[in-house]
């Protein structure tokens, strides 16, 4: 599926949802103790599968107090990727992938891009979860979480707020398919790259309609 992720990043670039080095995607198979994530600083319109970073999910236990912990570990993948760094949004992806990987038989893909009308709607003060309820072509297929407000990009705070608004639980379940981040785009999740991407397409289409209505 890495080739497919490259395809959707090219499509996002053509739609002006990202500039050359923006956006990030990760993918994890349920039975793997690692996931793949797009590298930082690489032109997404020419992204190649051998540029992805392989990230290990190390698991251990603290004695006092007794609790499980997970840690990030960069793993070797290709000669090209070993000279690259993972996306700066690694905390966001790691927090989701380490929990969602518990689901048997499922792949989990996380896509983060900056769609124009979604960002414009949030900038205008619109909660994306509220407008989604008025459009059946959106809410039949895509569950939209309440917006995440102003938080620093590439931060643990951003990751925590996204996880919270998506209602990620300790069993790897999420209540929503997509969440908007004010001034910073959206994060969508599903079992294939295109399914995750389609959540973004639907929401972007509705945001364009709502803004064109002039009610906001």
What tokens were used for 62?
A: 């603290």
Please tell me which residue, 73 or 49, carries the higher pLDDT value.
49
What is the structure's pLDDT at 201?
A: 97
Confidence of residue 172 (pLDDT cuts 50, 70, 90): confident
Report the alpha-carbon angle 204-164-189, nearest 5: 45
Give, for 107, the enclosing helix (H) or strand (E): strand 107-113
How far apart, in whole angstroms, are the C-alpha atoms of residue 22 and residue 184? 11
pLDDT (0 to 100) of residue 67:
55
pLDDT of residue 133: 86
Alpha carbons within 13 angstroms on the beta-carbon side of residue 98 total: 21
**Residue 31 maps to which CATH number?**
3.40.225.10
DSSP category for residue 145: P
Instruction: List, for residues 16-66, the tens digit of each pLDDT value.
Output: 999 999 999 999 987 788 999 999 999 999 999 999 999 998 766 656 665
**Geometric angle at alpha carbon 77, from 170 and 106, rounded to 5°:** 35
DSSP 27-68: EEETT-SEEEEPBTT--GGG--GGGPEEEEEEEEEETTTTEE
The 10s digit of each residue's pLDDT in 130-171 is: 998 899 989 899 999 999 998 988 888 999 999 999 998 877
Least-confidence region, from 161-170, 187-196, 199-208: 161-170
Cα gap 129→144, rounded to integer Å: 5
Task: Record the pTM.
Answer: 0.92
* CA gap 87, 37 in Å, rounded: 7
Sequence-distant (≥ 6) Cβ neighbours of residue 10 within 8 angstroms: 44, 45, 47
107-113 and 67-75: which strand pairing? Answer: unpaired
Is-contact 48 64, C-beta < 8 A? no
Calculate mean pLDDT across residues 53-82: 77
Which helix or strand (DSSP H or E) is residue 181 part of?
strand 178-181
Structural domain boundaries enclosing 59: 2-213
Counting the structural domains of the chain, the total is 1
* pLDDT score of 69: 54
């Amino acid at each position: 599926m890495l080739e497919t992720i490259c395809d959707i990043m090219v499509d996002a670039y053509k739609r002006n949802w990202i500039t050359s080095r923006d956006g990030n995607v990760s993918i994890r198979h349920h039975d793997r103790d690692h996931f793949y994530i797009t590298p930082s600083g690489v032109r997404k319109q020419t992204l190649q599968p051998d540029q992805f970073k392989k990230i290990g999910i190390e698991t251990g236990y603290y004695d006092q107090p007794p609790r499980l912990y997970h840690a990030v570990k960069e793993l070797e993948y290709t000669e090209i990727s070993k000279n690259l760094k993972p996306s700066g949004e690694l905390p966001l992806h790691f927090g989701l992938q380490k929990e969602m990987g518990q689901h048997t038989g499922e792949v989990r893909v996380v896509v983060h891009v900056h769609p124009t009308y979604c960002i414009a709607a949030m900038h205008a003060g619109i909660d994306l979860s509220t407008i989604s309820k008025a459009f059946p072509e959106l809410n039949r297929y895509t569950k939209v979480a309440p917006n995440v407000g102003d938080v620093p990009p590439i931060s643990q705070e951003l990751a925590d707020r996204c996880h919270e608004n998506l209602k990620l639980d300790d069993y790897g379940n999420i209540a929503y398919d997509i969440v908007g981040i004010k001034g910073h785009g959206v994060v969508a999740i599903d079992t294939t790259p295109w399914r995750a991407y389609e959540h973004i397409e639907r929401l972007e289409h509705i945001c364009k309609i709502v803004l064109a209505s002039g009610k906001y």
